Structure 1
């Protein structure tokens, strides 16, 4: 197993396999349902190689892996001994706590996540088929078109069968029974009956007017077209799972294998045709019409709002709430105006990544930017968001602005999605409608280029904090707002004091690990004020949940550790207030931590604070510039590179 050790560590830090109720994955994330999220070590997971970040949303504990998540998922399943069919106890999962929004997002993501890959693949085939016809490379009358269309269209036409499996599994029923319910809805004979002359009409003259072709036990059946539909099968399997559980309780074990599905089908399939299907379809039609009406009021504003907030919804996993609405529109309207508005978002994101890559001097960010850019082209933006733009803050905000502009252009041109296809660049063919490459399609191309170009330019010009120029850094060391910098000798860096207090020799403190120099070289400060400020410009590389210790990697590669007090980890964050988060970029003098000196001492702990250079081997010399008393932002340590 390629990711066996990573899988073992992930299982360990989510609280062990006994803490896992279920596990699924989407394009970039492992989505755990945990019995007790407090048992998971979120910070340890975030700091692991191979893990981008951790999110808690929609009732799920989401470990963001990146593009290779299917391989990691397979190894986690194997190492944990989880069953792919349920990965835990689905019934227990169903009863787990959470607000209504969390439960809704969890249900939708669990139902649609398993089919996303096939959904994207078949949608891409449909989209490219339309593209080839529009370009004149293929005829709709030819056999090539027919076969490719069969591949691309079959999944959508029989969508209720596939959703029957995933929805029934989610609701705790037998998945293959869900498939039978879905297959009943799209059974060809039913479609043939609907094509004939109706026997009579119900609700004539109302919006619910329905032709009646058949009856069931004398009860009129309102037949609907359920191919490509979503809501009817989800509701049918929801009630079907409950019916199945009832019969499992009352039917003897010796005949349970065949009598449970027998009676379940006899109840739920007719009930779906008589009541659940028509009601769900009517409701879906009304919602679809309502959405279309809202969009028609101002497609421009709708595009701006959806474009601006799409990436934020992705971060919290709330974008799943729009998926059913999109399918509903495709089923009732034949197109979807919602998800088409997010097309430009991924290109805004990679525009920001390119701007960061060109502008930054941080090698780690440059290294991350290349794969993040490539995956973003194909619509997978989590590596870009979590690895590059979000930690830098401004590039992420600018990417939202670019996505809003792109969304507004899409709304202005009336761009629509005609099939659920691929993401990123592969989404383009999905926006070719019956009229071919019309102005709406070319609007999507304009939106893509505008979002990318605007975001790149804004990120390059305004998105990155000014990083010191090594050629002139000596002049900035005397500036009040930049006490730590590289001197005129470009191989020397000066680190400022993060505290006000008395400087002590490291060997004099009452902690053998620090005093012996095992953690690195440096000094200690007996603080006079409970404030830690950034001793140099850099990135917060580690910030412990207890807020008592913080790691900083300066813009020039010096790795610093500031540890407030001895054994203060036992306070579990009490008396400490953090003002930054891991991944933040800070400037020299920025406030990092506040702590209550008196309360910590009353609790029986020392507040002596080591300031350690944890990569001293990089330097030829480390000199303490200040002795005795020191104020925050005073020059404290000078470092000379080995190459000097």
Structure 2
């Protein structure tokens, strides 16, 4: 499979089974792409089997099972790129973003925003039109029509943490619905109200510094990142009978207070400190304060630090009738809007232009910059920096003129009448200069991209994704490739070997060995997934048959892929079709990337419960890269104890 084009394989399979419309659902196990078809008669099985990368096809349990082998996660991920069947918009690999910390952060945030870019762009444009209608008195802000339209345009921004919880959960391999529950708690009306409470807020006596989490980004992204680690820990330590409901219960119970107690105070204190410092600068060097506010305002928004300035601005409006802190904000916003406009003109990527064009309108006329920043300027970097530069210069000019707003409003071109304190001419000049600088720098120096970058930008809103550990989503860790980066240790322990270099593979379970040909699964029995043995187990402890690295650890606990330092690739598959149990009766003890010694416990299985559920518990062990090895010799039938040699391999 190393030379196979996985996207071409996925496309070929999809075409030959009748297209995306003929597929009700898609999932995968350790070796097979499992499709549920609307009409099985539309599938051309012979054509599917001829598709490069496909080993064979079998139909069982109402599923159309395309056998791929170890690289099925890659084909499944590629299927997510060309269809909406998997709920995945991008391939999430273990490699992650590369480069310095700033580049990694930008790539991470951009990838999390990708699936919601089009909705953001759409409602942002609606917000711009609604703002224009209000400015020209085409609609009364007190009318019910305005209330309905404003809710339609504003809801996504208000509840943005919930949307980002879904995409972040996919990125960090966390349960998406649990992540939504955490985000929902952050924007819950009673929690929002606590932010305006005058009295102290505590949690079991622990002081809680409240902030507004509506429209925020960083708190939920950080929270879901931690959530992923917490869930995987709980899945390891909790017994099978409790895991399904206790993992989300404990995760929500821990994560919501943790975010409120830690992220909130960190963000709030940082914001207050920055706000106090910038306000002090305005008293002796207005131009410098203007440059800071104009240049860094969008950065403050990105990290949620802008909330520290809002109370100061509101207080200034109520006590003196204007706020100088807000003077440079129009320049900050329109500079990003101008950079987006330059991208819409200059980029060779049609999809990038489709994002940047409408986003520039919503930024310039409604002050809504999120769609354009996360979909255009920030991923390309130079346009974002150009917006910062333009905003800094324009903000300094506005501040020199003593510009400020007299009414609290979103900074935008249509809201300029509210910036009528000080020199309005300097305000307009500053905004114009900000736009010119950002547009010109972007137009000249931006990466124009190539048309093939369209593959990294979503075509439309993806279908609703399923829970990360559900059957219709890739199992945790399944994106790891069979070529893994092993942890090198000088004292790495080799398996028992003879002088001839033969490696003994141990029985992963205690039980009775049966020839692979007698296993009740045509794919394994045919040997297309490599030579090996079947073992009818009598005990539910599954152990590592070799010393090596775990390259695949199914969250469902039914399958594990290991690779030795000598390059022997071993698959341990517990039971037949047990992926359908979705992890019930299995307790996983290892994760992808773990280093294991021969005999280490991979999983605990309740064999009685699996059998009562109607599944064959025969545990299969195969050497999946048999063709690349000199010889693989299964031992004859016998009763064995886990750890006994059952397969001899000569690399």
Q: TM-score range by the shorter chain?
A: 0.3 to 0.5
TM-score under structure 2 normalisation? Answer: 0.40
TM-score under structure 1 normalisation? Answer: 0.40
Higher relative contact order (CA 8 A, sep 6+): 2
